[in-house]
Structure 1
Amino acid sequence: MMTEFPRIAAAIEDYFDALYFCDVDKLQSVFHQRAIYATADETPFLHRTMEEYFPIVAARQSPASRKEPRHDYIDSIEFAGENTAFARVRCSIGARDFVDFLTFVKVDGVWQIIAKVFQIIERPPQEH
């Protein structure tokens, strides 16, 4: 699995770039077309398909355009076998930090996210 580790890490870096620049083309390359997107931090429970998720990202003002500093971290990558992996990653957008659990599958030799389940952590306003 050591040869696959850099390929997963590269897919995660593409994921971080896609979110930072709101690059839907890059996001589509890293997510499997049938992936799910979910969080229990919303009421009601939030679950989206990629057809629902991509237009939301496309409509956002990108963190890059706001010149936000990047805070992207890969905490861990684990392999279940030759074609399934799990990553715990963190990133920030606006006043929110996110902990994302990304499940990857390798289909036709390409690693893609099949599930994104995440936790939102609101940052307190900075005092001046």
Structure 2
Amino acid sequence: MDARFAEIIEVLTRYFDGLYHSDAGKLAGIFHPQAIYACASEGSLIHLTMDAYLPMVAKRPSPASRGEARQDHILSIEFAGPVTALARVACAIGPKSFTDLLSIVRLDGRWQIIAKVFHVDLAASSP
């Protein structure tokens, strides 16, 4: 396997761990400080910087603390060049299912997420 794939998989594993445990510190270690967070699933743009996004993660109860089963997996990884990649991943937190498109760049000797653009769906409620 290309070493770049293994390196990206390690970043994505840390990403999933950070989300599952609401660990903003772990996420800060894999997001570039200037990364963006964006979503338009509900018809308007949500656009945050890491300074706004990471405190939100830190404040929310973690899926781990609620005993939720982990539901995260890598759908694809593509390279646009030697230092640019796009990962498509899926995860769930509570009733929300996310498809994340993570733009990842290699800077300062390591891979970092520079953009998180995602779609979210709410699970159908049981009758």
Same-fold status (TM-score > 0.5): yes
Structure 1 residue aligned with 2:69:
69
Distance apart, 1:126 and its partner CA? 3.2
The number of residues matched between the two structures is 127
Structure 2 residue aligned with 1:46:
46
Pairing 1:60–2:60 present: yes
Aligned equivalents of 1:53, 1:42: Cα separation in 2: 18
Distance apart, 1:43 and its partner CA? 4.8
Q: Deviations over 1:34-92 (max 9, x none)?
A: 00000002453100000000110011000000000011110000001110000000000
Aligned equivalents of 1:58, 1:45: Cα separation in 2: 22
Secondary structure, aligned partner of 1:4: helix
Structure 2 residue aligned with 1:125:
125
Aligned equivalents of 2:13, 2:21: Cα separation in 1: 12
Structure 2: state its 5+ residue gaps. none
Q: Deviations over 1:93-128 (max 9, x none)?
A: 00010000000000011001000000001111235x
Name the TM-score, length of structure 1 as normaliser: 0.95
Runs (4+) of structure 1 moved beyond 2 Å?
Answer: none
Structure 1 residue aligned with 2:13:
13
Secondary structure, aligned partner of 1:13: helix
Structure 2 residue aligned with 1:23:
23
Coordinate RMSD, CA, aligned: 1.2
Aligned equivalents of 2:27, 2:125: Cα separation in 1: 29
Name the TM-score, length of structure 2 as normaliser: 0.96
Aligned equivalents of 1:99, 1:44: Cα separation in 2: 17
Structure 2 residue aligned with 1:105:
105
Aligned equivalents of 2:49, 2:13: Cα separation in 1: 22
Structure 2 residue aligned with 1:83:
83
Distance apart, 1:3 and its partner CA? 1.1
Secondary structure, aligned partner of 1:120: strand
Structure 2 residue aligned with 1:4:
4
